[in-house]
Structure 1
Amino acid sequence: MNCSFERTKADMVSATLLDTAIDQFGRLGFEGASTREIARASGTAMSSITYHFGGKQGLYLAAAEHIAASIRNLQGEAVARAVAAGQQSSIAATEALAAILDSLAQMMLRPETEAWSRFIIREQQFPTEAFDVLFAKAMQPILNAFIELISRARPDLGQREAVAMAILLFGQAMVLRAGRAAVCRALQVEQIDDETALLLRARLRANTLCILSEKPQ
């Protein structure tokens, strides 16, 4: 029982450090963030960072792993279900892709994704080893699902066109988090409340169905 308690306590310390690190690294970047401040803000000792992660670089990579794992936990089942459902027909593939995008939109509207977004945006602008983790373990599986479903819904498209469409459709969901300030300013709201969220999700679905139904002239 003591061993189990100690493991649970260690896991809690590790999780708290990761959440604090993601926030600090996202706000200040790798160079600007201080492990001393991360330890202080998480209510633990500096030695905990060395013990759990080996140092600042290890903590940074673990933060990327944590974000990727969190995204997989939120999206993995929904993506798998959608890909399976999309096998039936082009219409089913279109509906499945709209379902994935709606699931992504809902994730982008969750409060905890704010800190993840800051971290990811920094890595998008100045990629490091952490970006390899984020892309391979979180972004790529979702993009692969998009590409597969787009290819079924729009067999007239070539591979590169399908990839380009996947990227841009993905971006429509991402703007709900990465472009939150602009979204609120444009819609003249202080925050995205439930009514506004439903409007945005409905428009995202309509956009997706429209784009996937377009045929070459």
Structure 2
Amino acid sequence: MNETGTKNTEASRSEVTRERLLAAALDVFGRYGFDGASTRKLADTAGVNLQAIPYYFGSKEGLYTATAESLAGIVAGHAAGIRHRVGRHLEEIDETNTPLNVSQARLFLTEIVETMVVLFVSKESEAWARFIIREQLEPTAAFERVYAGIMGPMINMARRLIGAILKDDPPAGNGRQRHSA
């Protein structure tokens, strides 16, 4: 095998190891929390050497943060279509200073709820839900990443839509509050 082929193989093995650690971390951190998850348990669940955690992520904390970022990206990808459609519609309303149509708000709110329910009741998302709920109940430094990537955009859109339905359409802005499951 030539040098390029060897580098590609090493890079793909490296990526597989990193992804295995992230998948294991999502499950283990979701079940046991940050403090309850030992690095040994994380490595064993991933089927990798214990030294892979500091090699790829610097520390257990680094793995936790990377797990939160990875999860935020995955969920954001699944919800991208509805976020884009509703977000674009809300931007147009803000730019033209027109009220949000109640029937359109109901339709969008229904789509958001359906998207999130379908996403979070799938078998694939069991570990996601545990991780997110644990972050809501016991926030860590990763809470901001989870909030910004998953909860915040959807909560802000839903808040606007509910406001329109109730004839109390709040202006665009940060409606951030800590929401518990």
What is the TM-score normalised by the length of structure 2? 0.79
- Alignment counterpart, residue 95 of structure 1, candidates 93, 107, 118: 107
Q: Return the letter of the residue paired with 1:103.
A: T
In the alignment, the residues of structure 2 paired with residue 85 and residue 132 of structure 1 have an alpha-carbon distance, to the nearest angstrom, of 26
SS at 1:129 equivalent:
coil
Following superposition, the deviation at residue 158 of structure 1 comes to: 5.1
Match of 1:54 in 2: 58
Structure 1 residue 104 corresponds to structure 2 residue 104: no
Q: Return the letter of the residue paired with 1:66.
A: S
| 2:160/2:169 contact within 8 Å kept | no
Instruction: Judge which range, 106-115 or 143-152, deviates more.
Output: 143-152
- Alignment counterpart, residue 151 of structure 2, candidates 134, 139, 150: 139
Following superposition, the deviation at residue 157 of structure 1 comes to: 5.0
Following superposition, the deviation at residue 149 of structure 1 comes to: 2.6
| 1:151/1:157 contact within 8 Å kept | yes
- Alignment counterpart, residue 19 of structure 1, candidates 15, 18, 23: 23
SS at 1:97 equivalent:
helix
| 1:82/1:99 contact within 8 Å kept | no
In the alignment, the residues of structure 2 paired with residue 13 and residue 106 of structure 1 have an alpha-carbon distance, to the nearest angstrom, of 29
Task: Kindly indicate which of the two structures has a greater share of residues assigned to helix.
Answer: 1
In the alignment, the residues of structure 2 paired with residue 107 and residue 48 of structure 1 have an alpha-carbon distance, to the nearest angstrom, of 31
Match of 1:113 in 2: 125
Q: Which has the higher contact order (CA 8 A, sep 6+)?
A: 2
What is the TM-score normalised by the length of structure 1? 0.67
In the alignment, the residues of structure 2 paired with residue 4 and residue 140 of structure 1 have an alpha-carbon distance, to the nearest angstrom, of 38
| 1:82/1:97 contact within 8 Å kept | no
Q: Return the letter of the residue paired with 1:95.
A: L
SS at 1:46 equivalent:
coil
SS at 1:114 equivalent:
helix
In the alignment, the residues of structure 2 paired with residue 64 and residue 118 of structure 1 have an alpha-carbon distance, to the nearest angstrom, of 12
Match of 1:182 in 2: none
Q: CA RMSD in A?
A: 2.6
Q: Return the letter of the residue paired with 2:79.
A: Q
Match of 1:148 in 2: 160
Gaps of 5+ in 1: 172-177, 179-217
Following superposition, the deviation at residue 82 of structure 1 comes to: 3.2
Q: Count residues with an aligned counterpart.
A: 166
